[in-house]
């Protein structure tokens, strides 16, 4: 796999370089135009700066959200372009289309040391098409903009999309520093983790994490389960979970996992149960096996935090994916904060598996440098740990 350093060694002054970034940032719910977490923009800055400072004409492309293959103002990258420019500490040009007349004109006018961001890739149906010809036609248009391609969008490498899979087949292609770091760290988790090796999983659904649980259960020393998914496990043990989130069709699967995992699997012993899904709902800490019928669990309780911290205390490798509760609501953030702080104290490799976990670290004001690595790709991280061959990585290796 050739790297950004290889490209820079070749010389990029006066050359147009297409950079696939992952700028799929979250926006504030009460103000859709304001970015809630700019971590993914910051993550790609070193690559863009290196190319810009070496004299390349840098064309950045990304998706945002899930538009239906056509322009949708709700998913424009315009606010991202503004923030990108602020963080880049330099002007960033913005094309109001992806491969249309505005993009074509601005690419042609782009000088060395300048940066252009194209509009949302998913405004074109060819980006996500399952039809090879349609995807390939879009890739042809993108590839025509540049003389080299750099993928620094680890959060998208698990997608067989035009900008990730097809464009690198049409241009000399290189892996950015972010992608290289992600692969290096995740390989350590799968190939030779230093033990004890603990995995902390949260989030809403068991079904979303089933493949990674199946892949990791034989390899880990401890598997700590929190978040909404813990209630299906608790129900599988025969406990009352009230109105808590439940995947009825996953109960047998959870029983099987519990039987196979034995003492490896650690579940909450207490939870914060509320009368409703809101910050001002009445709530109390209750035993995990006695949640009132009229309440729903929205966080793990203090005893659970202490137990999880104890299970992590001697670990030398930790992978964490998924919050322990509804951390966006202050009364239900303590579980995620407590477990995150326990992970920060681990003497060894600690990896935050992207997605909501990375967002929680920043939203709770935790020190990002206290973790060994914070991934930019939740889904990509999980699929890598499941042992899947990721299309974007395969494309870079070819």
- Catalytic sites, residue numbers: 40, 205, 355, 379
Q: What angle do CA 17, 21, 27 make, to 5 degrees?
A: 145
Is residue 301 a known part of a binding site?
no
Tokens of 221: 């020393």
Is residue 345 a known part of a binding site?
no
Is residue 355 a known part of a binding site?
yes
Is residue 251 a known part of a binding site?
no
Taking 3-state DSSP, the helix, strand and coil percentages for the chain, each rounded to the nearest 5, stand at 45, 20, 40
Is residue 328 a known part of a binding site?
yes
Q: With 0-12 CB in 10 A as exposed, 13-18 as middle and 19+ as buried, what is 220?
A: buried
Neighbours of 9 (CB within 10 A): 9
Is residue 159 a known part of a binding site?
yes
Residue among 5, 343, 373, 51 nearest 183 (CA): 373
Is residue 30 a known part of a binding site?
no
Neighbours of 277 (CB within 10 A): 12
Is residue 40 a known part of a binding site?
yes
Residues 6+ apart with CB under 8 A from 20: 61, 62, 149, 150, 151, 152, 153, 156, 163, 164, 167
**Cβ atoms of 127 and 66 closer than 8 Å:** no
Is residue 64 a known part of a binding site?
yes
The secondary structure element, H or E, covering residue 391 is helix 391-397
Residues 6+ apart with CB under 8 A from 389: none
Is residue 316 a known part of a binding site?
no
**What does the DSSP 8-state code read for residue 281?**
S
Binding residues, by number, are 22-24, 40, 63-66, 122, 159, 209, 297, 328, 354-357
Binding site for (2R)-3-phosphoglycerate: what residues are annotated? 40, 122, 159
Annotated binding residues for ATP, written as ranges, equal 209, 297, 328, 354-357
């Amino acid at each position: 796999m050739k790297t950004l350093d290889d490209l820079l060694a070749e010389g990029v002054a006066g050359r147009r370089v297409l950079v696939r970034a992952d700028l799929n940032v979250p926006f504030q719910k009460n103000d859709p135009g304001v970015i809630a977490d700019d971590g993914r923009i910051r993550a790609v800055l070193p690559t863009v700066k290196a190319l810009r400072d070496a004299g390349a004409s840098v064309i950045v492309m990304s998706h945002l959200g899930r538009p239906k293959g056509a322009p949708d103002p709700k998913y424009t990258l315009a606010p991202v372009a503004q923030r990108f420019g602020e963080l880049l500490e330099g002007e960033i040009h913005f094309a109001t289309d992806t491969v249309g007349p505005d993009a074509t004109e601005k690419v042609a006018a782009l000088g060395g040391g300048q940066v252009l961001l194209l509009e949302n890739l998913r405004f074109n149906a060819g980006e996500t098409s399952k039809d090879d010809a349609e995807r390939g036609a879009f890739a042809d248009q993108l590839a025509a903009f540049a003389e080299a391609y750099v993928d620094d969008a680890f959060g998208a490498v698990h997608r067989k999309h035009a900008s990730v899979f097809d464009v690198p087949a049409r241009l000399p292609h290189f892996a950015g520093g972010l992608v290289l770091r992600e692969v290096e760290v995740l390989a350590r988790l799968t190939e030779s983790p230093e033990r004890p090796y603990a995995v902390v999983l949260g989030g809403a659904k068991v079904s979303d994490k089933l493949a990674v649980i199946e892949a990791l259960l034989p390899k880990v020393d401890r598997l700590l389960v929190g978040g909404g998914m813990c209630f299906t496990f608790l129900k599988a043990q025969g406990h009352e979970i009230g109105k808590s989130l439940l995947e009825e069709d996953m109960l047998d699967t959870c029983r099987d996992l519990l039987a196979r995992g034995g003492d490896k699997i650690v579940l909450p012993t207490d939870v914060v149960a509320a009368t409703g899904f809101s910050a001002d709902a009445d709530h109390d800490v209750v035993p995990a096996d006695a949640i009132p019928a009229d309440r729903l669990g929205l966080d793990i309780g203090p005893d659970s935090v202490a137990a999880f911290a104890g299970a992590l205390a001697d670990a030398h490798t930790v992978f964490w994916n998924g919050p322990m509760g509804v951390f966006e609501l202050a009364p239900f953030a303590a579980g995620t904060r407590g477990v995150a702080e326990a992970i920060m104290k681990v003497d060894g490799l600690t990896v935050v598996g992207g997605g909501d976990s990375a967002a929680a670290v920043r939203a709770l004001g935790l020190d990002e440098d206290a973790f060994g690595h914070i991934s930019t790709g939740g889904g990509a991280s999980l699929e890598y740990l499941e042992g899947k061959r990721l299309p974007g990585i395969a494309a870079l290796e070819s």
